[in-house]
Amino acid sequence: MKVDGKLAHNLFKLDKEPHITINQSVCATLCTKRVCMTVCPADLYDLNETGEVVVNWEGCLECGTCMICCELGALSWHYPRSGFGVQYRRS
Domain residue extents for the chain: 19-86
Cβ neighbors of 91 (< 8 A, separation 6 or more) are 1, 5, 6, 9
**Predicted TM-score (pTM) of this structure:** 0.82
Task: Tell me the pLDDT of the chain (91 aa) as tens digits.
Answer: 676 666 667 778 889 999 999 999 999 999 999 999 999 999 999 999 999 999 999 989 999 999 999 999 999 999 998 888 887 776 5
CATH for 19-86 (3.40.50.10710, 3.90.330.10, 3.40.1360.10, 3.30.70.20)? 3.30.70.20
Say what the pLDDT of residue 7 is. Answer: 62
- Distances, alpha carbon 37 to alpha carbons 7, 58, 71, 83, in Å: 18, 16, 13, 27
